[in-house]
Amino acid sequence: MMRIGLAKRRPGIAALVLLVGVAGAHHTAFGQSTAGGTATQANTTASASHKYVRPADSLLQTRLTKLQYAVTQNGYDEPRFFNEYWNNHAAGIYVDVVSGEPEFSSTDKFDSKTGWPSFTRPIDSANVVTQVDSSLKSEVRTAVLSSGANSHLGHVFHDGPKPTGLRYCINSAALRFVPVDSLASEGYGEYLPLFRKR
């Protein structure tokens, strides 16, 4: 299905629209202005007003690739199997490509055989927001956004493995991978204990 809406808003990426529409058959586009959509904070005890914020749009358009912008800002989803992290098995964390907010850990990553990076839970429930996504006629889904920058990350489904039973199906284009060896130097040293052998 071709995503006409994106082509109208951002004429320069009409080819991307076609690519996402054809290759992303199951993991289809999410419109941020979904009718009846409501946002909820996964963990209301933690404040989302922290250092991870969305930069100005003019800056984002120079920092992000066209695909990264389309996914995080316009709610589109990348093609399955044709993305950077679906088959990444390295140890580390995944942060919001827009703000740098930590979102997921490789310790919670699993092979869902869907062609997108999949996780059983976020690295911190306060770092994600969920929103009703009724953009598909066939089903109502739950979209996952970063709490700091409100970046569209992907969707969460209730068909994952134990212990949570959840599958966070996330776009690689919404993420930046930080390997364990770089956590301290990039300011994410607090997450090192996740990777220490017990």
Annotated active-site positions, please?
Answer: 169
pLDDT per position as a tens digit, 28-57? 333 333 333 434 333 333 444 458 999 999
The mean-pLDDT minimum among 42-46, 73-77, 123-127, 175-179 falls in 42-46
Dump pLDDT digits (tens) for 98-130.
999 999 999 999 999 999 999 999 999 999 999
Residue 177 near residue 88, CB atoms below 8 Å: yes
SS3 36: coil
* Mean predicted confidence (pLDDT) in 150-158: 97
Secondary element (H or E) of residue 8: helix 4-9
Domain span holding position 68: 4-195
Quote the crossing angle between the two packed helices 14-23 and 66-74, to the nearest 10°.
Answer: 70
170: domain CATH number? 2.170.150.20
Q: What is the arithmetic mean of pLDDT over 147-166?
A: 96
